[in-house]
């Protein structure tokens, strides 16, 4: 466990830091960290492998899907399909099969398997990385506890959101909506009273209020979308590390750590599935909101 890579005993801080450091590589020639031009190799490889594995698995079943009596694998995939399709159907009232429902399936399955990496004991992953890449090779196994992943997903959804808003309402309609909803737009009739004249003079403030409100919404959506998932998975990982530290302290600590680790892992099954579900639902809600005009 923690003692595998400790010729000298690790302090708790070093242990935590070791597990929370990405395998970051600069991409300009040498492998030094280069600010933005750095790639978290562990996050990227883990997530891509997981995404490919899960989607190719589903694809291999979908490819041979037939309408007769389904095989067990097909029945399972159809269960997932039906679950996603039902959720999307309740929220989005358009042609969901063209994009939103398959996108929701991708989001759900991918986030679910990435979250599920949290079940692997953190020290085993670190130990395997040390064996392959030499001592002190960092490898964080949970891609969703990297804020880059969750931001990437949330920003992709955000861009899709704007894309669909413009596609459905037109560029003019979208800009009109930004300035004229949710508080409404002033009327430009000739004022009949002094109050009306004041109202007309104050009307640019209404545009400003609408614009500010929409900007806050556009900023807060990807932030809450991504940070909710990131925070949950990051916290889950940290708690596993704390339990790992307890386990490394003594024999009693190891017994307590085993029990607590099992308990947290069981509870974490709920969090993993729930966060994947929430992330998928938020995606569907945001994309279907983009289709509706106010």
Partner 1 sequence: MNINLTLIAQAVAFAILIWFTVKYVWPPLLNAIETRQKEIADGLAAASEGRSALEVAAKTSEITLNEAKQKASEIIGQAEKRATQIVDEAKDNAKEEGERILAGAKAEIDQELNRAKEGLRAQVSSLAVAGAEKILRKEIDAKAHSDMLSKLAAEL
Q: Are 104 and 84 in contact (CB under 8 A)?
A: yes
Please provide the DSSP assignment of 171-232 as one string: HHHHHHHHHHTTT-----SPPSSHHHHHHHHHHHHHHHHHHHHHHHHHHHHHHHHHHHHHHH
Give the pair of three-digit tokens for residue 289. Answer: 């909101």
15 vs 81 by CB, closer to partner 1: 81
Minimal distance, residue 248 CB to partner 1, in Å: 27
Shortest approach of partner 1 to residue 221 CB, angstroms? 16
Binding positions for partner 1, rule: CB under 8 A: 24, 27, 35-40, 43-44, 47-48, 51, 55, 58-59, 62-63, 65-68, 70, 74, 77-78, 81-82, 97-99, 101-103, 105-106, 110, 143, 146-149, 151-153, 155-156
* Least separation in angstroms between CB 277 and partner 1: 17
Looking at the Cβ atoms of 149 and 210, the one nearer to partner 1 is: 149
Longest dimension (CA), the chain: 86
* 38 three-class SS: strand
Query: CB-wise, 151 or 240, nearer to partner 1?
Result: 151
Closest CA to 278 of 104, 131, 147, 146: 104
Question: Which of residues 44 and 207 has its CB atom nearest to partner 1 in the complex?
Answer: 44
Q: Measuring CA to CA, how many Å separate 83 from each of 89, 92, 289? A: 10, 14, 21
List the catalytic residue out of 60, 220, 224, 250.
224
Q: How far is the CB of 112 from partner 1 (least distance, A)?
A: 13
- Would you name the residues annotated as active-site residues? 224, 228, 232
């Amino acid at each position: 466990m923690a003692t595998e890579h400790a010729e000298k005993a690790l302090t708790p801080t070093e242990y935590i830091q070791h597990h929370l450091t990405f395998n970051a590589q600069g991409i300009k020639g040498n492998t030094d960290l280069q600010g933005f031009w750095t790639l978290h190799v562990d996050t990227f490889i883990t997530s891509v492998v997981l995404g490919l594995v899960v989607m190719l698995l589903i694809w291999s079943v979908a490819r041979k899907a037939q309408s007769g009596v389904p095989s067990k694998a097909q029945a399972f995939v159809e269960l997932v399909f039906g679950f996603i399709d039902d959720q999307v159907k309740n929220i989005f009232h358009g042609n969901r099969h063209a994009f939103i429902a398959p996108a929701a399936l991708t989001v759900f399955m991918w986030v679910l398997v990435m979250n599920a990496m949290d079940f692997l004991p953190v020290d085993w992953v670190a130990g395997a990385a040390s064996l392959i890449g030499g001592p002190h090779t960092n490898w964080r196994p949970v891609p969703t506890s990297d804020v880059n992943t969750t931001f990437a997903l949330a920003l992709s959804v955000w861009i899709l959101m704007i894309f669909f808003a413009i596609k459905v309402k037109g560029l003019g309609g979208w800009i009109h909506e930004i300035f004229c909803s949710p508080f409404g737009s002033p009327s430009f009739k000739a004022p009949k009273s002094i109050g009306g004249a004041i109202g007309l003079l104050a009307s640019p403030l209404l545009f400003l209020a609408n614009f500010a409100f929409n900007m806050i919404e556009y900023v807060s959506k990807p932030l809450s979308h991504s940070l909710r998932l990131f925070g949950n998975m990051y916290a889950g990982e940290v708690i596993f590390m704390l339990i790992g530290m307890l386990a490394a302290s003594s024999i009693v600590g190891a017994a307590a750590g085993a029990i607590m680790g099992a308990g947290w892992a069981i509870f974490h099954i709920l969090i993993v599935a729930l966060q994947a579900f929430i992330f998928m639902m938020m995606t569907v809600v945001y994309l279907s909101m983009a289709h509706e005009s106010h």
